[in-house]
């Protein structure tokens, strides 16, 4: 059986403007790879209600799992929860369980649980809360969509909360061979090898450093023995290559 598939939707003007560098997709890809979930697509959209709704509906129809990051904080531009509610056709309001978590958190801090902070307790109907041990404000799961914060430490904690609930497959394994030849020289043999081992994925990634150039060829798959066999063949084709 093929591994389950997933997509990620990164939300926020700060990402698209270049002000903030996204690291959450890199983290999610690593975690899904270990769990045997194939991250097939990642999209970035601005803080635009219609854009979020459209992208989310497209992704959740195509993939087994969708993870979003960003836009669930206390400010006016945190509109993800409302957009998710519209995408699923449900209402949204302050939930008692989310409110209780946040009220207790701000009471412990001696801070006011004001109207802005109460926005983080607005959860779409039927959604299940995602635990946030870092800053308490929860994410939520509705259908096959998991809505998470954009702050990397919080996002990572939410992924840790959700991952055990997801059905995984075979972990994706990989091996790399560094070949000190141009891609134009290796393209033909590599294409023939990829056709022979069509159950595996091959990628060629050029490098150039200190006057040395070539390509790192990566072989990926779920069968370690097949990867070993393919890399043995590749090494035979290019005897000067090294792992």
207, 215 Cβ separation under 8 angstroms:
yes
Q: Please name which of 66, 129, 68 lies closest in space to residue 94, comparing C-alpha atoms.
A: 129
In angstroms, the CA 23 to CA 15 distance is: 10
CATH topology of domain 5-165: Molybdenum Cofactor Biosythetic Enzyme; Chain A (3.40.980)
Q: Is the confidence at residue 1, as pLDDT, over 80? A: no
Q: Is pLDDT above 90 for 223?
A: yes
CB 20 within 8 A of CB 10: no
Supply the CATH classification number for the domain 173-237: 3.30.70
Question: Can you tell me the mean pLDDT for 45-57?
Answer: 97
pTM of the predicted model as reported, rounded to 2 decimal places:
0.88
Each domain of the chain, given as residue ranges in start order, spans 5-165, 173-237
Sequence-ordered strand ranges (E) for 20-172: 38-45, 65-69, 92-94, 122-124, 128-130, 139-142, 145-148
Task: Read off the pLDDT band of 62 (50, 70, 90).
Answer: very high
pLDDT at position 154, please? 97
**What are the tokens at 114?**
């004001």
Q: Over the stretch 77-97, which tens digit does the pLDDT of each residue have?
A: 999 999 999 999 999 999 999
Separation CA 41–CA 6 (nearest Å): 7
Q: 27: buried, middle or exposed (CB in 10 Å: 19+, 13-18, 0-12)?
A: middle
pLDDT value of residue 193: 96
Per-residue CA distances from 58 to 42, 88, 105 (Å): 12, 12, 36
What is the gyration radius of the CA atoms in the chain, in angstroms? 22
Average pLDDT over residues 167-185: 93
Task: State residue 211's pLDDT score.
Answer: 86
Q: Can you tell me the mean pLDDT for 139-161?
A: 97
Query: Is pLDDT at 54 greater than 90 in this prediction?
Result: yes
Q: What is the pLDDT of residue 89?
A: 98
Residue 168 has pLDDT above 80, yes or no: yes
């Amino acid at each position: 059986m093929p591994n389950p598939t997933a997509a990620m939707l990164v939300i926020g003007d700060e990402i698209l403007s270049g002000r903030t560098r996204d690291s959450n997709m890199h983290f999610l890809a690593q975690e899904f790879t270990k769990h045997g979930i194939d991250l097939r697509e990642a999209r970035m959209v601005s803080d635009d209600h219609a854009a979020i709704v459209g992208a989310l509906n497209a992704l959740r129809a195509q993939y087994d799992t969708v993870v979003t990051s960003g836009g669930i904080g206390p400010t006016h531009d945190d509109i993800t929860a409302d957009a998710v509610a519209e995408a699923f056709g449900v209402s949204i309001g302050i939930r008692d369980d989310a409110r209780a978590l946040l009220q207790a958190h701000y009471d412990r801090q001696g801070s006011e649980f004001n109207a802005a902070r109460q926005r983080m307790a607005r959860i779409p109907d039927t959604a299940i809360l995602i635990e946030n041990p870092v800053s308490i404000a929860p994410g939520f799961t509705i259908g096959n969509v998991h809505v998470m914060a954009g702050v990397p430490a919080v996002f990572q904690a939410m992924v840790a909360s959700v991952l055990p609930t997801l059905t995984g497959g075979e972990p994706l394994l990989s091996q790399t061979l560094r070949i000190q030849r141009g891609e134009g020289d290796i393209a033909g043999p590599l294409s023939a090898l990829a056709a022979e081992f069509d159950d595996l994925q091959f990628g060629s990634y050029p490098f150039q450093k200190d006057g040395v150039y070539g390509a790192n060829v990566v072989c990926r798959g779920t069968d370690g023995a097949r990867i070993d066999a393919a890399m043995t063949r590749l090494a035979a084709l290019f005897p000067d290559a090294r792992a």
